[in-house]
Amino acid sequence: MNLYQDIKAIVQAYWVTLRNMLRRPVTIQYPEQKRVPFERYRARIVLTRDPDGGERCVACYLCSAACPVDCISMQAAEDENGRRYAAWFRINFTRCIFCGMCTEACPTRAIQMTADYEICRRDSLSLVYEKEDLLIDGPGKEPDYNFYRHAGIGVVSPRGGNEDEKPPADVKSLLP
């Protein structure tokens, strides 16, 4: 019985070798030849805009909290409508492992991954991308989504002025 299994294992191993010898090579002459990645390939990260051209990121820090290697940092600010945005936003691509956790955590579809895998550099500091390097002019993979059309805060009405929205708490009234 053992002899039969040994022979079977040897035949299977030779079969795998033979099958792969007849396959076309999978290597290509990069960078002269470029491979087209799959549509959902996870590479360079971008910050997108909503269909009206506004920045989608509301500086909620969720992507930063979800990132397992802690490579996203930012500073939140508020505009005159009470709308939050990232005063600065930074991703250190030398640490990023392209896991996609940040994109899954983002409630506004602001942070998205693209298929651009050509971000290797000799100078590692140039892989620290600032907001101006990350922010693109378009909506990316979610062309119609606008977070503030759902949340409504401070865009068409002041805080607390939208349908089903409670007035903001007076924080001073919460003091002991």
Query: Do the annotations mark residue 120 as ligand-binding?
Result: no
Minimum distance from residue 103 beta carbon to ligand SF4 (Å): 7
Q: Who contacts 133 (Cβ-Cβ below 8 Å, separation ≥6)?
A: none
- Contact residues toward ligand SF4 (CB under 6 A) are 57-63, 66-67, 69, 71-72, 91, 96-102, 105-106, 108, 110-111
Minimum distance from residue 65 beta carbon to ligand SF4 (Å): 8
Query: Do the annotations mark residue 67 as ligand-binding?
Result: yes
**By C-alpha distance, which of 60, 68, 140, 128 is closest to 99?**
68
Query: Do the annotations mark residue 102 as ligand-binding?
Result: yes
Minimum distance from residue 79 beta carbon to ligand SF4 (Å): 15
User: Count of CB atoms within 10 A of residue 72's CB?
Assistant: 21
**By C-alpha distance, which of 74, 112, 66 is closest to 92?**
74
Distance between CA 152 and CA 83 in Å, rounded? 10
Give the annotated binding-site residues for [4Fe-4S] cluster. 57, 60, 63, 67, 96, 99, 102, 106
Binding-site residue ranges: 57, 60, 63, 67, 96, 99, 102, 106
